[in-house]
Amino acid sequence: MEDRHKQIKSAQLRSDILKQLYFKKTLLYSELSLIYNKSIPVINKIINQLIKDGLVAEVGYAASSGGRRPQMYSVKTNAMYIMAIAMDQFCTRMMIVDMQNNPVTNTQLVELPLNDNANALPQLISCINSCIAKSGINKTQILGIGIGMPGFVSVSDGINYSYLDAGDQKLTHLIHKAIGVPVYIDNDSSLIALAEQKFGAAKLKDQAMVINLGWGIGLGMIVNGEIFRGSNGFAGEFSHIPLSEDGALCLCGKQGCLEAEASMLVVTKKAIEGIKQGKLSSLQSFINEPLERIATAIFEAIAIGDQYVIELLSDAGYKIGKALAILIHIMNPQTIVLSGRGTKAGKIMLAPIQQALNKYCIPRLAGNTELLISTLGFDAELLGAAALVMEYLDDDILNAHFKQKQQPMDKTSV
Amino acid sequence: MEDRHKQIKSAQLRSDILKQLYFKKTLLYSELSLIYNKSIPVINKIINQLIKDGLVAEVGYAASSGGRRPQMYSVKTNAMYIMAIAMDQFCTRMMIVDMQNNPVTNTQLVELPLNDNANALPQLISCINSCIAKSGINKTQILGIGIGMPGFVSVSDGINYSYLDAGDQKLTHLIHKAIGVPVYIDNDSSLIALAEQKFGAAKLKDQAMVINLGWGIGLGMIVNGEIFRGSNGFAGEFSHIPLSEDGALCLCGKQGCLEAEASMLVVTKKAIEGIKQGKLSSLQSFINEPLERIATAIFEAIAIGDQYVIELLSDAGYKIGKALAILIHIMNPQTIVLSGRGTKAGKIMLAPIQQALNKYCIPRLAGNTELLISTLGFDAELLGAAALVMEYLDDDILNAHFKQKQQPMDKTSV
DNA sequence: AAATCTTATTTAATTTTTTTAAAAAGTATT
DNA sequence: AATACTTTTTAAAAAAATTAAATAAGATTT
């Protein structure tokens, strides 16, 4: 039971206001005053302190309806930097962003298979190091490294139970020690959900389910305005719910999992098989290429309206829709967002998903849930990884970087 | 997004401390100080005020490991009363309890079918009135009426969209006006979950799923230590998730709903049918009785180990287990509690449910979830209804009943 | 049983925090 | 340019909470 009633003291509002500015881009005194239920002078004091520390800047004036125009405040772009990393089963992307989420490096793409790869962790570490080196940014200027990864990730423990085994250490600690910058990890789908909630299609939504259409089918849950992780951090294991009694065999060992029936990986494999058996498709020339290429080819096929690919995706969509019907019955979300690298495929799936919802959902529930397409697409996970670092920001971390200048004593003697 | 950061001022702690005392039975200064992060003098002040108002009493001393023994405090038993009402499709139970949940009336049982019964609402109101009259308690002494009912209930709107149509008024307002006492309604399964969380098997659990084994199969969700209701108040519609493609036809019009395969109602009907076709069972002599009697007979059959009944329940249990596997994958709960009037049947179902979980759940998830039997049983909904009233208690309501005595002014002139 | 040690509660004083009020600064309208 | 209005800053006042000290009362030791 959540019994501990914490009281936010304004002295501990510094980091919170900074977060607020990061997520909302720009804010006024009056808005901050409303958000925190504090009087303007209290906000004024903190903002002035943040400006003195070089963290926040005035960025012009907002409109006024007659009267002095209010100052807008933002985090200073180059006050600090964040490293964002998005991993999937085969590939890892990373970049460094400033305090307004502008990339300050290119997105580095590394082939880094996670499965049965004892070398994955050292490889990841060396990539991070070289990316930072190339950027020319001092490590002390980096607030943290946020990493999204597939698998059973416990955020609170800093451990991934599926990949990147760190022995008896915490994965976060190990990388932190190796790089010298704090590390935060999370499940890829949760980060996509975080990104959609903060910057994307689920913005300002309190109850949203974000489907990560990647090689698998992930689920990131926004519950009561926050990422929901369940009691062990494993909530949202959507892809392995038992859907059909005698379905395809899944990698997890069970039968009839959603993932085994409708994931991008399965669609891709079906496409290859179908083409080999004579189906006509624009994919034909790609069937011997690596998966990563085929995925791109599928998106291109969608763009030109390839009938066979659309047929396969529709079929997958209908199955996802049936699973979403279950999800809606349990969670009664306001919004479902189709996101992740497969966002483009999601557009094709919208209709069959809606069809399945109509069939399998009680109308009162289906009617109350909107089905949206990500506005962030493939970038969602990276944005989420950056947001993760900011989510964890607190006054201790902030003070470690920006010591509040000691006020000169008024009393002449101690 | 939950942005409003509320600060608890000690002046507004009165009702909260009273709630705390109601739910925890008895507390010490030191415990309250920890719960609210307030110093002892602050707690001391509020408790003294509550004692002066006649709401709280000292109830002896706790043990000490050397030193003065601390005072224990409780809500005064007869400070106020709560009316608790539990409705199901066919029957309604009601009672009045004091501030320590002791019944001060017998449990009144009324036959009150909800389906196609335009008279249900007036009937309910007259029952409530006569129950209060019989109790001899003054209406001003009743803090509120908590009602659990099946159907699509919106707690925040005070409306039941399935039964007890109140026209263009809110159901809660209508009853409030008719009786003259504030009314709070909730879904039956949510109230059972509330009861289990506050007083039962899910006590102190932050993530718990409570299955309401009634005539249907309900779900009350405890998420992050609080009852979860989703965006429209309809979360936990567990009984109508699509389980099998070609299952039995459900009352909701769809096929293969969990409820249509495994609810008590279905088990009962199957039992009647089976016996008619020659199955041997202790139920034989009951098959022409009303449902309410048959339910009792089934519980008796369980007690004497009736093989046919146990077989039917095992079968239902396995199906419930499969549905629970889905729930565990999505929510990753710490605890699942089988509760409601069918708690006794739940005991028989434990084994087949666990079996289904082992088959359909990823081991890491199933292994982290404990499966428990309610400790409250048939009383859960009534207890939850009472708890609901207390959950809604705030300083405004409290002050309406117990005006804080005006402190005599120190200044002689204004 | 007296002395000593612990722990609890109450009271008073101090400190911290927050708000209110007033002044100053800046815009828009007339 | 004068007026009306809004925002920001500063200063003063009020409110709230904590600390510290004093008192109370039970437990332990001698």
Q: Is the CB of B60 under 7 A from strand D?
A: no
Instruction: Report DSSP state, residue B280.
Output: -
Would you call B98 helix, strand, or coil by DSSP? strand
Would you call A371 helix, strand, or coil by DSSP? strand
pLDDT (tens digit per residue) in B182-222: 999 999 999 999 999 999 999 999 999 999 998 889 999 99
Would you call A187 helix, strand, or coil by DSSP? strand
Does the pLDDT of residue B6 top 50, yes or no? Answer: no
Q: Is the CB of A68 under 7 A from strand C?
A: yes
Is B260 found in the same domain as B138? no
Nucleotide nearest to B42 (CA to C1'): D17
- Average confidence (pLDDT) over B166-187: 96
B407 occurs within a structural domain: no
Residue B90: both structure tokens together: 């066919």
- Closest Cβ opposite residue B230 in set A219, A231, A331: A331
Query: By the 8 A CB rule, do A8 and B5 touch?
Result: yes
Q: Which residue has the higher pLDDT, B227 or A256?
A: B227
Q: How many residues does chain A have?
A: 414
Closest listed residue to residue A148, CA positions, set A391, A375, A361, A348: A391
Residue A19: both structure tokens together: 């977060």
Q: Is the CB of B63 under 7 A from strand C?
A: no
Q: What is the mean pLDDT of chain A?
A: 90
Is A208 found in the same domain as A347? yes
Is A234 found in the same domain as A146? no
- Residue B396 pLDDT: 87
DSSP A24-93: HS-B-HHHHHHHHT--HHHHHHHHHHHHHTTSEEEEEE---SSSPPPEEEEE-TTS-EEEEEEE-SSEEE
CB-based burial label for B147 (10 Å; 0-12, 13-18, 19+): buried
**Comparing A154-163, A239-248, B162-171, which segment has the lowest mean pLDDT?**
A239-248
Is A217 found in the same domain as A237? yes
Measured CA angle at A207 (ends A385, B200), to 5 deg: 110
Query: By the 8 A CB rule, do B306 and B283 touch?
Result: yes
- Looking at residue A122, which CATH number applies to its domain? 3.30.420.40
A251 occurs within a structural domain: yes
Does the pLDDT of residue A412 top 50, yes or no? Answer: no
Query: B161 vs A230: CB contact, 8 Å cut-off?
Result: no
Query: A230 vs B333: CB contact, 8 Å cut-off?
Result: yes
- Looking at residue B26, which CATH number applies to its domain? 1.10.10.10
Q: Which residue has the higher pLDDT, B167 or A6?
A: B167
Residues of A in contact with B329 (CB under 8 A): 237-238, 240-241
Through-space distance between the first and last CA atoms of chain B, rounded to whole angstroms = 46
Residues of A in contact with B161 (CB under 8 A): 364
- Residue B407 pLDDT: 36
Strand partners, A211: A219, A338
A409 occurs within a structural domain: no
- Residue A122 pLDDT: 96
Q: Is the CB of B305 under 7 A from strand D?
A: no
Give the pairing of strands B217-223 and B226-228. antiparallel
What CA–CA distance (Å, rounded) separates B31 from B43?
Answer: 10
B130 occurs within a structural domain: yes
Closest listed residue to residue B226, CA positions, set B204, B248, B252: B204
Residue B8: both structure tokens together: 């608890």
Does the pLDDT of residue A3 top 50, yes or no? Answer: no
Is A170 found in the same domain as A244? no
Share of chain B above pLDDT 70, in %: 94
Is A30 found in the same domain as A111? no
Is B60 found in the same domain as B178? no
Residues of A in contact with B236 (CB under 8 A): 330, 332
Residues of B in contact with A236 (CB under 8 A): 330, 332
B4 occurs within a structural domain: no
Q: Which residue has the higher pLDDT, A249 or B97?
A: B97
Q: Using pLDDT thresholds of 50, 70 and 90, give the confidence band for residue B250.
A: confident
- Residue B246 pLDDT: 76
Query: B368 vs A234: CB contact, 8 Å cut-off?
Result: yes
Closest listed residue to residue B192, CA positions, set B382, B355, B408: B382
Measured CA angle at B345 (ends B342, B348), to 5 deg: 155
Instruction: Note the helical H segments in B102-223.
Output: 120-135, 171-179, 188-199
Amino acid in position B181: V
Query: By the 8 A CB rule, do B274 and B312 touch?
Result: yes
- Closest Cβ opposite residue A332 in set B8, B230, B254: B230
Is B59 found in the same domain as B137? no
Protein CA at B39 to nucleotide C1' at C14, angstroms:
15
Query: By the 8 A CB rule, do A84 and A94 touch?
Result: yes
Is B209 found in the same domain as B304? yes
Q: Give the residue from A21, A36, A330 with the most B CB atoms within 10 Å of its CB, the best one to mutate.
A: A330
Is B237 found in the same domain as B217? yes
What CA–CA distance (Å, rounded) separates B131 from A61?
Answer: 64
- Average confidence (pLDDT) over B65-86: 93
Would you call A372 helix, strand, or coil by DSSP? strand
Would you call A100 helix, strand, or coil by DSSP? coil
Residue B166: both structure tokens together: 């109140």
B409 occurs within a structural domain: no
B195 at A interface, C-beta within 8 A:
no
Distance of CA A76 to the CA centre of its chain: 23
Residue B128: both structure tokens together: 């409530």
A229 at B interface, C-beta within 8 A:
yes
Does the pLDDT of residue A1 top 70, yes or no? Answer: no
Instruction: Note the helical H segments in A304-362.
Output: 307-331, 343-360
Query: B333 vs A231: CB contact, 8 Å cut-off?
Result: yes
pLDDT (tens digit per residue) in A217-273: 999 999 999 999 999 999 999 999 988 777 778 877 788 889 888 888 888 888 888
A224 at B interface, C-beta within 8 A:
yes
pLDDT (tens digit per residue) in B316-370: 999 999 999 999 999 999 999 999 999 999 999 999 999 999 999 999 999 999 9
Instruction: Note the helical H segments in B290-368.
Output: 291-303, 307-331, 343-360, 363-366
Is A17 found in the same domain as A121? no
A302 occurs within a structural domain: yes
Protein CA at A44 to nucleotide C1' at D10, angstroms:
12
Q: How many CB atoms lie within 10 A of CB A255?
A: 17
Is B59 found in the same domain as B86? no
pLDDT (tens digit per residue) in A342-361: 999 999 999 999 999 999 99
Residue A17 domain boundaries:
10-75
Instruction: Report DSSP state, residue A249.
Output: B
B411 occurs within a structural domain: no
What CA–CA distance (Å, rounded) separates A184 from A188?
Answer: 12
Structural domain count, chain B? 3
Give the H or E element holding residue A149.
Answer: strand A142-149
